[in-house]
Structure 1
Amino acid sequence: MKIALGTVQFGLPYGIANRGGQTPRDAAAEILAGARAAGATLLDTAIAYGEAETVLGEIGAARSGWRIITKLPGLPADLPAAEIGHWCRTTVEGSLRRLGADHLEGLLLHRPDDLRGPHGPALAEALIHLRDRGLTAATGISIYGPEDLDALLPEGPARAPIPLDIVQSPANVLDRRLESSGWAARLSQGGTRLHLRSAFLQGLLLMPLSDLPTHLSHAAPDLRRWQDWLAATGSDPLAAALRFALSRDYAECAVLGMDSPDHLKQILAAAQTDGPLPPDDLHSTNATLLDPRRWNR
């Protein structure tokens, strides 16, 4: 299955369209069971996702055969270079304890810019050591856009400071930057596993324009073009946005968060539908819209 289960909702209230808050533990357990039964095997989480790792451990995700990817937070500002290896090891061991797992499928950097800083070499050495010890099968980075790759990899993927086994990136109907920049092709051709997140742009692609928050009014023109296309083709927004994410040949999976068992059922049903692919001319050049960190409230 080309769907990986995102778990930020298990640990935090997340998403511009989220009305229900953090997913209760019993609902999280039901979501995992339903997704596993449908063929999903990959979980995406992070230390920064509040209680998510703890919830996954209490549910028994690792014992149920889920392959788990987590993310290291940024390096503490006052951490000496000599202590980076110890910090990385103890941080990952803490994740494994919370998850009830003995190893990770992948360990990603939530702040890949740390590799470009003064402690970058020590951080890279620590990550490679963790992989060599078998605490993680893969290493990689989580990015916000291709500019992160431009900065980190000026000489291309072959000269990456750590093995780029996995790169997680946003990509959706409006956000085609990974493709248009050429990075999708370069990374996939080099053997990097690409995981796409933000298929629904935190719910904006599923939201009626009348519900658009005032602080996101700048998004209205792009969202109106999207909704006009949906109306013209008779397409369902959930199914069309999902169809785009799952149709990317260069990607291993789309990371999708579900906040309820009903939401999971909707996504699984939508994944089985046929229909037109959203065209390239729906892409947005609104940098603020494409980066939720810039959505000032």
Structure 2
Amino acid sequence: MNRLALGTVQFGLSYGVTNTEGQVSEVSVQEILQEASQHGIDMLDTAAAYGESEVVLSKQIATNQFELVSKTRPLSSMKGKLDQVEKALNQSLDRLALHRPLYGMLIHHADDLLGPQGDDIWKLLQEKKQQGRICKIGVSVYSAQELDLICQRYAIDLVQLPHNVLDQRLRISGHLQTLQDNCIEIHVRSAFLQGLLLLQDIAALPVHLQELKPALARFQQRAGELGCSTLALALGYLRQQTAIDRVLVGVVNPQQLTEIIVAWTEAASLPLHCADDLAIDTEHLLNPAKWSLLKVSQ
């Protein structure tokens, strides 16, 4: 299971368009971490911007069993002051390092690294790496354009990017292969498109996302043809992308994690390329950051 990593945004916020349970309780967090550890999942992904997530994790003794990846606070939230960036970074490291280097620290917003203070932020992270507080420096991106600009300017170790059975753009463009060829570690988020891929009744789609119905219907039909669950097919597509190092999954209870672990194992038997033709290329549907704009336009 060491290609799976556990996302923790739900530990600090009520997150996800299909999340009806809200923020995960600290008791449930402990149970989820125990379940993950028992099945060989050894990495947690968090961020300073994920509400109380870092604080919650810092209270969990079980966190010591995991490698940790976190993300910087957005520069915009600190009025562009580098000293505040360093202060926030140190707070994250103090909370999460747990007497060892943090596995990875990502720039949460690529624009911070591409802006006028990008070189200063990069230098600051390099200093933390040289001090032994961080093992890998990376960035979270939303598009191929952001990724290209970052890689032209900085020798990143790690990138987190969106990818799923509907959003295959970075595979089709060759970016996943190029990243692998350059020994840049790839972590994938949005594996289930904020849970939309796992909706049993696509008629329940929010009004502003109705355009996704045909793609979701094709996806569900393919799972039926293959005799597998939609969960297994969503994971199976990602499992077949050998360039991907980690697939981030978020859960709100231990049962959901167990289902994912079972489906990940089942997905190994799916035919190669069985979902490659399910891709769509519609930015406003594939990028959850655009969904609020769709909602307003309704």
Contact 1:74–1:111 under 8 Å retained in 2? yes
- Runs of 5+ unmatched residues, structure 1: none
In structure 1, the partner of 2:287 is 291
Alignment match, 2:270 = 275
The superposition leaves residues 28-47 of structure 1 with CA deviations (integer Å, 9 ceiling, x where unpaired) of 11111110111111110001
Does structure 1 retain, via aligned residues, the 8 Å contact 2:158–2:184? yes
The CA deviation at 1:76 is: 3.5
Unaligned runs of 5+ in 2: none
Q: Deviations over 1:188-233 (max 9, x none)?
A: 1111000111111111111121211111111112112212212222
Q: TM-score, normalised by structure 1?
A: 0.91
Does structure 2 conserve the Cα–Cα contact (< 8 Å) formed by 1:2 and 1:252? yes
Q: CA deviation at 1:117?
A: 1.2
Distance 1:123 1:212 in 2: 40
Counterpart selection for 1:255 from 233, 248, 254: 248
The offset of 1:79, in angstroms, is 4.7
1:225-265 CA-to-partner distances (Å, cap 9, x unmatched) read 21221222222101111111222100111011111011011
Specify whether residues 78 and 254 from structure 1 end up closer, same or farther in structure 2 by C-alpha distance, changes over 3 A only: closer
Aligned counterpart, 1:68: 68
- Displacement after TM superposition at 1:135 (Å): 1.4
| 1:18 matched residue in structure 2 | 19
Q: 2:140 aligns with which of 133, 139, 142?
A: 142
* 1:98 to partner: Cα distance: 2.9
Using a 3 Å threshold, how does the CA distance of structure 1 residues 122 and 260 change in structure 2: closer, same or farther?
same
**Runs of 4+ with >4 A deviation:** 77-80
TM-score where L is the length of structure 2: 0.91
State whether structure 2 residue 211 is matched by structure 1 residue 218.
yes
Asked if the contact 1:88/1:126 (under 8 Å) is kept, the reply is no
The residue type equivalent to 1:76 in the other structure is S
C-alpha distance in 1 between matches for 2:214 and 2:128:
46
Work out the number of aligned pairs and report it.
Answer: 287
Task: Please name the residue that 1:235 is paired with.
Answer: 228
Structure 1 residues 237 and 77 mapped into 2: Cα distance closer, same or farther (>3 Å)?
closer
Match for 2:197: what amino acid? L
For 2:109 and 2:28, how far apart are their aligned partners in 1? 30
* CA deviation string 1:8-37 (max 9, x = no partner): 110111111111111111111111111011
C-alpha root-mean-square deviation of aligned residues, in Å?
1.7
Are 1:266 and 2:251 counterparts?
A: no
CA 1:135 to 1:275, structure 2 compared with 1: closer, same or farther past 3 Å? Answer: same
1:91 has 2:88 as partner? yes
The equivalences for 1:24-173 within 5 A come to 24-62=25-63, 64-76=64-76, 79=79, 84=82, 86-99=83-96, 101-102=98-99, 103-150=101-148, 152-153=149-150, 157=151, 159-161=152-154, 163-173=155-165
Distance in 1 separating the partners of 2:242 and 2:165: 15
